[in-house]
Amino acid sequence: MESPRPEAAQEAPRLAPGDLVGRFELLRELGRGGFGVVFEARDRELGRLVALKSIRQGRREGAPAREASLRREAEAVASLHHPNIVTLYDFGRAASGPYLVLELLQGEPLSRRMERGPLPLEEALEVAVDVARALVHAHARGVLHRDLKPGNVALCGGTAKVLDFGIARVFGRAGLERSGTPGYMAPEQLEGSEEDERTDVHALAQLIREMLTGQAPAAQAPGPAPLGRGVPPALARLLERAQERDRTRRPDAAAFLEALLALQRERRVRRLAARLARHSSWVAALLVAGLVLAWKASSLVIHFDKLTPQQVLAARALPGGVAQAGLPPPEEVAFQSEGITLRGWLFRPGEPAGCGVVFHHGKASTRHGMLRQASALWPRGCHLLLFDARDHGLSDHAPVTFGVHEKIDLLAAVNLLAEASGVPRSRIGLFGASLGASIALQTAVLAPDLAFVMTDTPFADFRSAARNETRFLYGPWLVPFASPAVTLAGWRGAFDPADVSPVNEVARIRIPTLILHARRDERIPWQDAQRLYDRLTTPHRSLRLLDWASGHCRAELDDPARYRAELDAFLDEHVPGFGRSPAPAAR
């Protein structure tokens, strides 16, 4: 028998659309780089579309280095769960070699956007803030990216996501010498000396320069290119500091992010002042008076009076607390999210069924307010995590942003539950009520690897919700100030009200979704639930408009057995095998 040619033995199986890699069917090639190729693929078990990244097909020279890079990327991204970082679903090995399964991004690389010219200043700042937030999250978990550039940032429907951690370095582990892309590498990378968080900040500053000028850096350039006119002096100074040769003189990612947010707030105030100046004096006086009222109203929007557990117990929570809910004594837990401490309860079942649920309460509530919902799911044998949202209960004070930061908090809670219980993320669901329901929907967009999202009374549009809440609490005469108050709250809290309106995002949810809403809700009309349901595209979705519930988030109070039956019916139909199917509750 003729022996195979040596070069044929060095070839790896070639991947092509139609091939199966594990449980993933390759649909089309999305792109390739120096040693990686990315396919759009379908997960044949879960039915979702993903991005599958494998080492480049063909000859295997340098294969060990390529495989090491892929594994390094998996190790780095596995610890990161953030709306501005691509999500890793899985890592595996097939005949073609190792592969990553990643979130399939809908958008375009920043590099392609920049082919059409420089970005306007405001757009560039939005991208920079998103990337800085990603770096703050990664650095807090000990991960350096080390190759930040336009090709490694994706623009996805108004959100920037950082990807390709192929040469990332985990703090405390040996790194790669002189790794990166010339032109974006900090001096310490070029010299092979020690790197830290400020190495990534140097690259981000270069990225901002390129967005504003449209000029890619030269690999051997003597220094940063000039920014030109129209760039605020404060931003120019910030970029100069971030690209100091001595990295100890650069800001870290958190300080850099705070400086960018301060610059955004200042520019918004300047634009508002310029608009007022264009009006005649008496019109300007009326506008200023309205602005003062709206400013005070915006303080109610982003800074609620902090609720204590005792206040909630006196209002809507179970008077008997945990014991009345039929739950065992919980474990007190605390976890970090974006520099603040959140506190809550972890309930461990006596006979775990390999599942978990994280709960997010509403505006005028704390973890105590979710005890009834938790008791409805307790019979399934799941670990349950209830926590006080930022600025509520025993958690730290921080401005309320209706989802911008809260969805990051909720993802951090999921990570805590997974680590504390050993339950995989694919067997953890979300449950939110009122404001927490809208936050849970926003979070579900970012976490397609979770089991499900259940919501009780979410709002669809933030501005409409603010008007309805103003009418309910203060009467119709203050409603005209609701919309400007929301705008000012967004400026002060550095968020866009459109970005915290679930109706704009739910079409991207890929996990089973339940929406409950009382038809007689006096605060959020049931039509909000219908709007959200109509936008959903996941095949596993359910809308239950409850005729028997008496008002806002009162279904679990009015008929606990019927409420639990609604939750069980959804899980049994759309998430079969989630925990134990309990016996029907007594009526």
Distance CA 368, CA 566 (A): 22
Please tell me what DSSP assigns to residue 26. Answer: E
Please tell me what DSSP assigns to residue 232. Answer: -
46: Cβ–Cβ under 8 A, 6 or more apart, which residues? Answer: none
Do residues 511 and 451 make contact, with C-beta atoms less than 8 angstroms apart?
yes
Tokens 């609720």 belong to which residue? 307
CA 450 to chain centre: 13
Distance CA 529, CA 540 (A): 16
Which is the catalytic residue, given 90, 147, 409, 456? 147
Question: Catalytic residue at 147?
Answer: yes
Distance CA 381, CA 356 (A): 8
Distance CA 429, CA 70 (A): 29
553: Cβ–Cβ under 8 A, 6 or more apart, which residues? Answer: 362, 433, 434, 456, 457, 518
Phi, psi of 516 (to 5 degrees): -105, 140
Distance CA 451, CA 454 (A): 10
Distance CA 451, CA 463 (A): 30
How far is CA 265 from each of CA 122, 164, 436, 570, rounded to the nearest angstrom?
11, 31, 27, 44
Q: In 10 A of CB 319, how many CB atoms?
A: 7
The dihedral formed by the CA atoms of 372, 373, 376 and 380, expressed in degrees to the nearest 10? -130
Please tell me what DSSP assigns to residue 100. Answer: E
586: Cβ–Cβ under 8 A, 6 or more apart, which residues? Answer: 561
Do residues 480 and 297 make contact, with C-beta atoms less than 8 angstroms apart?
no
Sign of CA pseudo-dihedral 554, 559, 560, 563: negative
Please tell me what DSSP assigns to residue 107. Answer: S
How far is CA 293 from each of CA 300, 478, 537, rounded to the nearest angstrom?
11, 10, 40
Do residues 53 and 67 make contact, with C-beta atoms less than 8 angstroms apart?
no
353: Cβ–Cβ under 8 A, 6 or more apart, which residues? Answer: 380, 381, 382, 579, 580
Exposure string of 345-375, with b = 16+ CB inside 10 Å and e = fewer, is: bbbebeeebbbbbbbbbbebbbbbbbbbbbb
Catalytic residues: 147
